[in-house]
Amino acid sequence: MARKIPATTDSGPKVDRRKFLTGVAVAGAAGTMTPQSANANGAVGVTAARLPSALPPTAYTIAAETGTPAKDLARIGGVAGSDFMVDVIKTLDIKYLPSNCASSFRGIHESLINYGNNKMPEFLTCTHEESAVGMAHGYFKITGKPLLTLCHGTVGLQHASMAIYNAWCDRVPVIVVGGNDLDAAHRPPGVPTFHSAQDINALVRDFTKWDDTPVSLQHFAQSMVRAYKISMTPPYGPVMISLDAGLQQEPVKPHGSGEKLYIPKYTPTSAPQGDSNAVREAAKLLANAEAPVIVVDRAARSENGVRLLVQLAETLQARVVDMGGRMNFPKTHHLSAGAPAVNSADVIIGMELSDFWAVVNSYIDNGEHGIGFNQTRLKPTTKLISINSVDLNTKANYQDFQRFQAVDIAMAADAETTLPSLIEAVKAAIPNDRKAAIEKRGEAAKKAHAEARERNKQAAAIAWDSSPISTARLSMEIWGQIKNEDWSLVAQSGNVSNWPHRLWPMEKHHHWLGQSGGYGVGYGAPAAVGAALANRDLGRFSVSIQGDGDLMYAPGVLWTAAKHKIPMLSVMHNNRGYHQELMHVQRLSSFRNRVASLGGDMGPIGTSIMNPDIEYHKLAESMGWWARGPITDPEKLGPAIKEAMAVVKSGQPALLNVWTQPR
């Protein structure tokens, strides 16, 4: 590491960071002397002579106060190592850097804002590391570009780890750099010691694609470009770099045998495509199927992915079940179908599914003796095809790959990249005598789609005027106001029975960004702010349906949105409880022949967020948002949203605290 270079060989100034910190440490130690050291001074039982309150200046102080300052005031004796790090980062076209400041990366922090002029990336002040990573998560889903975040390698990374896990499960790249003071011989005592570790990356190694601990500036340059490249190769994922504090702060020195530092060129890696034989075999099965069904989760990585899926579905007139990890397929399309479509399928192709097993099996919680049981949805002859890039990047510890599902054709490949060849292969494989049957299948799908839409509308009308406000009414009141905007539903952390998916004309990739991935509550608010930041730059309108429990994990991200002028409309689905858990406890109470103890709340003890009710509108107002609430009368919701929309269009964030039905 940089600091292993002996001080005597250092051509820089003699008053360096270490000596300064040592001085600080000595001053601090005077007040915290240990019993042993007190004894060493022979102080036991003896009252020490009282020192005068003002001591004469030392020779060092006299010199500092009376000497002539040197011409060059730079104290590090050359170019700061972290300036070079900023040069490296700037080659990667990273626009923002959401972060909660920390001393272990003060070197690079200073370089970013002063040497780097706080542009590309721009430092965004966050109040929690989980918020910073969550923002990067949401930002990527709009732009397709990763953000960089900095955090303390120990305490900050522990805060960030939940959000990193969500990004891992959701196949989202985030570049996490954790500051760490590696060299225990020179590390400042006190806080920096508690904030250092031998291997900070170990904390998140199970759910990052790659990590490294660069020990030189040249090593940093290689690690940074490599990290970016790995995170941006499908399947995407977060990466981690441990950044030594000394390396940031010490001056650039010749590397190795004296070669000059260089920055490696970043060349994107092409995504893995399905093997051509497997593609051909899959096409044959699909082309000859009576009832093929396409099931997608994170298949469309872009708008082009949506177009390709439409093309494949229309070629086959196959119904498409969108599991919602992304906006894969237009909900207005006649081939868009619900999950029961798989029941009658004879060939199912699953693309980028995190859980193929759950697509073709049902699970009933709490059967006899409290154990759940499964039922297959498949006919015995149904053929299964899988295209999944996650097959290339599975780890052992965390079980995000779910149960093992046997399939007939498996391609470890990126679905969006494989689609063009699959579409061509399907076109070539469709026999002429099947074309009429395929067309007829499409007509049946049109009828089924229209009927389902009618049913959805009638279901939405039930409890339309109820208070607390129904989730259908909530969703449609929002839609009534945003329908003429280029809108983006940036998060739906509250569960509103999928009403936006069922009733809004969700057609474009940015209309829906998917959920958290790891179901880690607390994703919604920061991901919404991150996505809204990206949409702001694109001139798009961002709306979030914000869960109450989700917001309370790290509400400080509201302040970040106001601070950095990120406009968005946040409409709360405030059902005043952790509703999923509330139902779980109720379920167990019923199975055990007990009446759940409510403790004066509406849900079982420990699951409600009430008494007192949280005034989210006041919380948001206190952090610079325009906010109103609580809104309980459904007739008042539409006008309130309209008022909030005007605020958002003026460039500010606005929040409505709405009391809602549970789901």
Partner 1 sequence: MSRQFFRFALAAFAAGVVLAHAPALAADAAKGKAAFMKYGCWQCHGTEGQGSAITSAGKVLAPDPLPLETFAAFVRSTDRAMPPYSELALPPADLADIHAYLSSIPKAKDYKTIPLLNQ
Q: Which amino acid is at 163?
A: A
Distance of alpha carbon 280 from alpha carbon 540, whole angstroms: 40
> Token pair of 559, please?
């302040």
- Give me the least distance between CB of 31 and partner 1, in Å please: 52
Toward partner 1, which CB reaches closer, 139 or 659?
A: 659
Residues that bind partner 1 (rule: CB under 8 A) add up to a total of: 56
Q: Which is closer to partner 1, CB of 7 or CB of 450?
A: 450
Q: Does 22 bind partner 1 (CB under 8 A)?
A: no
CA distance 453 to 475: 15
The b/e string for 448-462 (b: 16+ C-beta within 10 A; e otherwise) is bbeeebeebeeebee
Interaction residues for partner 1, span 466-505 (CB under 8 A) = 466-468, 470-471, 473, 476-477, 479-480, 483, 495, 497-498, 502-503
- Which residues have CB under 8 Å from 433's CB, separation 6+? none
Closer residue to partner 1 in complex, CB, 23/367: 367
Report in angstroms how near the CB of residue 336 gets to partner 1 at its nearest: 15
Report the residue number, 333 or 473, with the smaller CB distance to partner 1.
473
Residue from 113, 378, 429, 610 binding partner 1 (CB under 8 A): 610
User: What residues numbered 234-293 form the site for partner 1, per CB under 8 A?
Assistant: none
For residue 149, which amino acid is it?
Answer: T
Peptide bond into 254 cis (omega under 30): no
Smallest CA-to-CA distance from 310 within 318, 510, 432, 281 is with: 318
Q: Could you tell me how many residues make up the chain?
A: 663
SS3 388: coil
Are 649 and 567 within 8 A, CB to CB? yes
Q: How far is the CB of 518 from partner 1 (least distance, A)?
A: 19
Please give the residues from 545 up to 604 whose contact with partner 1 meets the rule CB under 8 A.
576, 579, 582-583, 586-591, 593-596, 598, 601-604
Neighbours of 483 (CB within 10 A): 10
| Cβ burial, residue 195 (10 Å; 0-12/13-18/19+) | buried
Q: Least separation, in Å, of the C-beta of 483 and partner 1? A: 7
Which residues 315-354 are close enough to bind partner 1 by CB under 8 A? none
> Which residue, 231 or 608, is less far from partner 1 as judged by CB?
608
Beta carbon of residue 351, minimum distance to partner 1 (angstroms, whole number): 23
Nearer to partner 1, 70 or 364 (CB): 364
- Residue 547 CB, shortest distance to partner 1, in Å, is 13
152 vs 473 by CB, closer to partner 1 = 473
- Smallest gap, in angstroms, from Cβ of residue 365 to partner 1? 8
Nearer to partner 1, 311 or 467 (CB): 467
> At closest approach, how far in Å is the CB of 374 from partner 1?
12
Residue with Cβ nearer partner 1 (421 or 498): 498
Task: Kindly tell me which of 626 and 659 has the beta carbon lying closer to partner 1.
Answer: 659
Going from the C-alpha of 291 to that of each of 155, 191, 432, 476, the distances in angstroms are 53, 64, 17, 34
* Alpha carbon separation from 301 to 40, 172, 305, 353, 451 (Å, rounded): 67, 10, 6, 13, 30
DSSP sequence for 311-350? HHHHHHT-EEEE-SSS--S-TTSTTEE-GGGGGG-SEEEE
Q: Which two tokens stand for residue 101?
A: 């400041």
Task: Considering only the stretches 41-49, 406-414, 435-443, 456-464, report the one whose residues sit in contact with partner 1 under the rule CB under 8 A.
Answer: 456-464
**Nearest distance from C-beta of residue 211 to partner 1, angstroms:** 37
Cβ atoms of 516 and 312 closer than 8 Å: no
Closest distance to partner 1 from the beta carbon of 584 (Å): 10
Interacting residues toward partner 1 by CB under 8 A: 364-367, 373, 457-468, 470-471, 473, 476-477, 479-480, 483, 495, 497-498, 502-503, 576, 579, 582-583, 586-591, 593-596, 598, 601-604, 610-611, 613, 659, 661-663
